[in-house]
Amino acid sequence: DIQMTQFPSSLSASVGDRVSITCRTSQSISNFLNWYQHKPGKAPKLLIYAASSLQSGVPSRFSGSGSGTDFTLTISSLQLEDFATYYCQQSYSVPPYTFGQGTKLEIK
């Protein structure tokens, strides 16, 4: 299985801050990397697919970059509604699809 290491595991930030979350994979996965946002009690939401493509309807302050084994999700200017947990997920070598352990973004 491809192992996903996501860091930091938690992050405190303020509205307006620029934040980045990193996902590292145990082997090269080209750009087969996706990012999700998850709020308690809600359905997880696809933000970024294929490492850098913005899902329809997702604000442009979200962006993704990287290829191979290192990937980054960046939020350019945090809004209140962005405080949530974020997961990366690989679809390069399946089964199984694997997810990172999550990064909880909290208000400072």
Partner 1 sequence: QLQLQESGPGLVKPAETLSLTCIVSGGSISSSNYYWAWIRQPPGKGLEWIGSVYYNGNTYYNPSLTSRVTISVDKSNNQVSLRLSSVTAADTALYYCARHTATVTTRWFDLWGQGTLVTVSS
83 touches partner 1 by CB under 8 A: no
Q: Quick check: 52 binds partner 1 (CB under 8 A)?
A: no
94 belongs to the binding site for partner 1 (CB under 8 A): yes
> Beta strand pairing status for 62-67 and 53-54?
unpaired
Q: Does 100 bind partner 1 (CB under 8 A)?
A: yes
Cβ 29 vs Cβ 13: under 8 Å: no
Phi, psi (degrees; rounded to nearest 5) at 24: -120, 135
Binding mask 1-40 for partner 1 (x = CB under 8 A): x------------------------------x-x-x----
Q: How far is the CB of 86 from partner 1 (least distance, A)?
A: 11
Residues 16, 36: Cα–Cα separation, whole Å: 20
Rounded CA separation 85/24 (Å): 17
Q: Quick one: which of 14, 43, 60, 81 contacts partner 1 (CB under 8 A)?
A: 43
Tell me the closest approach of the beta carbon of residue 14 to partner 1, in angstroms. 26
Angle of CA points 84, 88, 54, to nearest 5°:
80
Cβ proximity to partner 1: between 9 and 79 the closer is 9
